[in-house]
Chains A and B, each alone.
Chain A
């Protein structure tokens, strides 16, 4: 059995204390396997984004642990945490978050160069990543020369560049129209089918349905998980 690429154990997060105490997350156990797309759903305030921030070392849990690619975030130094954020996990946000003064390729190669990779090597990887998100030939365009869907493709390419194998996506289709959203989900799905792993927060059931597993949070707890059927349906099954 393969090891999970991301593992959350008895994860808890509490804000405030006494009467003001809010349990944002309570004893959440969740594993993400390579090749898996997992969606996190739930109402506003159910803990979706808190969970994603813990997974990506953007926030510290009050209890429990997060293990990314075999490394326990709780025992890491600040420098190591920064390295995890640069090279192990990638983020995709609703607002794309590309740097406007850099081209598509530069946006993608930046984290690799910051990690010490030579520009030529980083550029080659960026071009390959752009090809994988069907953006070959747009490497030298600036974000304002790209549509919303194209910018999100660049963000996904950046999220999965080089050694990065875990993509954390917070409402990645939030600002896009329906057809573009669907193409972004198709892309996430195919990147996962090719071996990446993604944890995606969404409030749209139709988008969550692209996932292998849909985790539903309620008041910081996992209320239910639904898994797609292992053997794919055929036309005969729904007649």
Chain B
């Protein structure tokens, strides 16, 4: 979701000026998304150029108020109705790192998996602590936090599966050792 979609959705509720949209966007997302006002105005101008919004007369204090066009309304409906394309996120950095470690032979790919698992578990522990201590009932915040927790869990399960796949492969020859790396070696036995 880009700022474009965010602004269009907010304008469905009613006409608004840039500052109002910025404030609405931040409160709707439980302050998990902060934007600067310059970006908001640039995006609104682009939306106007494309015929998705119209600027109407200033509301007395010199601020321009924006309203959604029919074209804009259609764009909101189509965007909300379409599933998120997970395939577009397929070329992710962890997968690339595992694959590159195998191709380069510079480091055991299982070490990449183990490092990532440790880091992701720490994040999951931190989110869980946050959730356990959470006393407020901010719906947007809880929705967001639950998603982060479940994503971290899914990543750990996926890493488990990657490791199981790696275990089925012949032993890896690590050609360039990790002497220059400023980290503790992880003991990896086969």
Contacting B118 at CB < 8 Å: which of A189, A211, A224, A229? A224
Interchain CB contact (< 8 A) of A206 among B34, B117, B118, B153: B153
Chain B 4-45, CB-CB to A under 8 Å as 1, else 0, gives 000000000000000000000000001111100000000000
Provide the B170-186 mask, 1 if CB < 8 A to any CB of A, else 0.
Answer: 00000000000000001
Cβ contacts A to B, 22 pairs, < 8 Å: A205-B121, A206-B124, A206-B153, A210-B125, A210-B132, A212-B125, A214-B121, A214-B125, A216-B118, A226-B118, A227-B122, A227-B125, A228-B126, A229-B122, A235-B30, A235-B31, A238-B127, A238-B144, A238-B148, A239-B32, A239-B33, A239-B34
Task: Tell me how far the C-beta of B50 lies from the nearest C-beta in chain A, rounded to whole angstroms.
Answer: 29
Contacting residues, chain B, for A205 (C-beta < 8 A) = 121, 124, 152-153, 156-157
Q: How many residues of B contact A (CB 8 A)?
A: 32
Do the beta carbons of A228 and B125 come within 8 Å of each other?
yes
Q: Is A177 an interface residue (CB 8 A)?
A: no
What are the 6 tightest A-B residue pairs by CB atom distance, in nearest-first order? Answer: A228-B125, A226-B121, A209-B128, A209-B124, A205-B156, A226-B118
A232-B126, A235-B30 given; name 15 further pairs at CB < 8 Å: A186-B132, A205-B121, A205-B156, A206-B124, A209-B124, A210-B132, A214-B121, A216-B117, A216-B118, A223-B186, A224-B186, A232-B130, A239-B31, A239-B33, A239-B34
CB distance from B185 to the nearest CB of A (A): 12
A50 smallest CB distance to B (angstroms):
18
Binary flags per residue of A200-236, CB closer than 8 Å to B gives 1, else 0? 0000011011111010100101011111110011110
Which residue in chain B gives the minimum CB-CB distance to A208?
Answer: B121
Set of chain A residues within 8 Å of B187, measured between Cβ atoms: 221, 223
In the bound assembly, the distance between CA atoms of A186 and B131 in angstroms comes to 11
Complex: how many Å from CA A48 to CA B33?
41
Q: Which residues of A contact B114 (CB under 8 A)?
A: 223-224
Interface size class of A (residues with CB under 8 A): 20 to 34
| Count of inter-chain pairs, beta carbons less than 8 A | 79
Instruction: Report the separation of the CA atoms of residues A74 and B85 in the bound assembly, to the nearest whole angstrom.
Output: 59
Binary contact readout B126-160 vs A (1 if CB under 8 angstroms, 0 otherwise)? 11111011000000010011001100110011000
With CB as the reference atom, state the residue of chain A lying closest to B157. Answer: A205
CA distance A232 to B134 in the complex (A): 11
Q: Is the interface of B mostly helix, strand, loop or mixed?
A: helix
A19 to chain B, nearest CB (A): 18
Least Cβ–Cβ distance between A26 and chain B, in angstroms? 9
Interface bits A42-74 vs B (CB < 8 Å: 1, else 0): 000000000000000000000000000000000
Judge whether B133 and A209 touch: CB under 8 Å.
no
Instruction: Name the one of B33, B125, B145 contacting A211, with C-beta atoms under 8 angstroms.
Output: B125
Across-interface contacts of B61 in A (CB, < 8 A): none
In the complex, residue of chain B having the shortest beta-carbon distance to the beta carbon of A212? B125
Q: Is the CB of A233 within 8 A of B32?
A: no
In the bound complex, how far is the Cα of B132 from the Cα of A229, in angstroms?
Answer: 15
- Which of A189, A223, A227, A232 has the largest number of chain B CB atoms within 10 A? A223
Which chain B positions have C-beta within 8 A of A232?
126, 129-130, 133
Asked whether any CB of chain A lies closer than 8 Å to the CB of B119, the reply is yes
Q: How far is the CA of A23 from the CA of B32 in the complex (A)?
A: 48
Residues of chain A within 8 A of B186, CB atoms compared: 223-224
Given A223-B114, A232-B133, A238-B148, residue A210 in contact with residue B128 (CB < 8 A): yes
Shortest beta-carbon distance from B16 to chain A in Å:
23
Most chain-B Cβ atoms within 10 A of its Cβ — which of A205, A216, A228, A229? A205
Minimum distance in angstroms from B8 CB to a CB of chain A? 22
Scoring B114, B126, B148 by chain A CB atoms within 10 A of each residue's CB, the highest score goes to B126
Task: From the candidates A186, A224, A229, name the one contacting B117 in the complex (CB within 8 A).
Answer: A224
> B132 near A189 (CB under 8 angstroms)?
yes
A211: chain B residues within 8 A (beta carbon):
125
B62 smallest CB distance to A (angstroms) = 31
> What's the Cα separation between A67 and B128 when bound, in Å?
31
Inter-chain CA distance A212–B33, complex, in Å, is 29
